[in-house]
Amino acid sequence: MSNAYESVMSRKNEIMKKAVGIDYSVFESGQIAFDYEKMMHETGYTLEEMQKIQGETGVGNTPIYELRNLTALARKCAKEGKGARIFLKDEGSNPSGSFKARRAANAVYHAKKLGYKGVIAATSGNYGAAVASQAAMLGLKCIIVQECYDSKHVGQPEIIEKARKCEAYGAEVVQLSVGPELFYSFLLLLEETGYFNASLYTPFGIAGVETLGYELAIQMREKVGRDPDVVVCTNAGGGNLTGTARGLKKAGAEHTQVVAASVNLKGLHMASDEQFNRKSFTTGHTGFGMPFTTWPDRSDVPRSAARPLRYMDRYVTITQGEVFYMTEALAQIEGLERGPAGNTSLAAAFSIAMEMDQDQIIVVQETEYTGAGKHIQPQLSFARQNGIELKFGQPQDEVPGESIILPEHPRLIQAQDLDLVKIRQSLIKNAITQGAYTSISQEDLRFLMEETNADESFVKETLSELNVTVK
């Protein structure tokens, strides 16, 4: 078989089917629709099974801390009577240092169960370290494919840090420049090795995060006697929020509001060689959060199990400067040094806490490990080297790719709401555009209602604006 780009890409569905062990076609039920819950049930694991799998490699049962000093600071900055209690679930205590260990534990276990000799994951984030760690524990080979640097072979400190961690666990790391070669190289490696695709977006990967949401609810009931009012999830590809929300529901926490939070990188193109190193966040930003929310199936499997718009009640953005500020505040006020991804949701939670009453509770559902490349100083130094202006001031004046503005005062930290109505409309438009549909079935209509967490009239009105009829 030819290894030419066009030839390999034409074989992607066949390669993926062999590498994941799932025939996604059995879940298709319409032009647009597929049976999501059937896919999760038939190819995933029960909550009890997931807890057992994760427990065998030391994953899960992470602690929850009340951030009393940050809560006190939020109350000083807020109006009288405002300032919810802020709690944090410390996922950085997982074996590889992030919640991604939950996804990896299930994926690698499943690979071994099916008889694969190794696993491959395409990721520049913490998931690579998680897969490498779990593969080492279960005796499987591991290859991590990273989008690491620009055409000048200059890599971001945070990505290089994660490569070091993957290599420390014995994984082979394939580092690539930004662009379409990532997916091509990934497919080629899957085909050549016959290894398992430990995708972030499989049912067993997402189901692994359900234990996080379930634990969180049970732990909060033990600590304070009730469910939290709000849980904030850093949102990129959507698996973090999807799994956490599903776990909360399985614990019966039906009234907890789930908030998505992303770093605002509006205006920066994630596949741009020129702009690749002009951002200081490699995950948890709008460059992933927005496209994956409005069309989940852009992932590396035919049908993504991460479908965040089904579960989010609110979507906010926070600036790079605000996250850097909150990272330092967490270390110096609470004595917890953690990496930037979890501190995205922490910065958002600090802002939202100032809106809430003092008897309410808000939980940041994850932290991540920190290391040489993730620390504030190397990241800010790298930004300065790339011509980014660094200063203190009003965070909302920050322009991604041009400036990083650290807040002059913590009261200036202010999460910005995204319009969920427009996001829901975008998902419907993307679904229609994929097949250039002029009419859809009742089954497709119900699917779009579930996908957007919207009622029938909203979906029909949006379809009408697109000149699409329902049969």
pLDDT of residue 284: 94
Q: Tell me the pTM.
A: 0.96
Band of residue 145 on the pLDDT scale cut at 50, 70, 90 = very high
Mean pLDDT for the chain?
95
Band of residue 124 on the pLDDT scale cut at 50, 70, 90 = confident
Same-domain check for residues 65 and 152: no
Same-domain check for residues 29 and 141: yes
Same-domain check for residues 82 and 123: no
CATH code for the domain of 194: 3.40.50.1100
377-404 residue pLDDT tens: 999 999 999 999 999 999 999 999 999 9
Give the pLDDT mean for 16-44: 90
DSSP 255-293: T-EEEEEEE--TT--TT-TTTGGG-S-SSSBHHHHHHHH
Same-domain check for residues 349 and 436: no
State yes or no: pLDDT of 339 exceeds 80.
yes
Domain boundary among 203, 226, 257: 203
238-293 residue pLDDT tens: 999 999 999 999 999 999 999 999 999 999 988 888 899 999 998 899 999 999 99
Band of residue 338 on the pLDDT scale cut at 50, 70, 90 = very high
- 8 A C-beta contact, residue 292 and residue 237: yes
- What's the sign of the alpha-carbon dihedral 70, 96, 257, 284? positive
Any idea of the CA torsion for 121, 126, 129, 130, to the nearest 10 degrees?
A: -80
Domain boundary among 183, 203, 223: 203
Same-domain check for residues 133 and 173: yes
State yes or no: pLDDT of 21 exceeds 90.
no
pLDDT of residue 426: 98
Q: How far apart are CA 55 and CA 49, in angstroms?
A: 10
Which residues span the domain enclosing 226?
59-95+204-417
More confident of the two residues 23 and 251: 251
Q: How many domains does the chain have?
A: 3
Give the pLDDT mean for 463-471: 96
Q: How far apart are CA 324 and CA 328, in angstroms?
A: 6
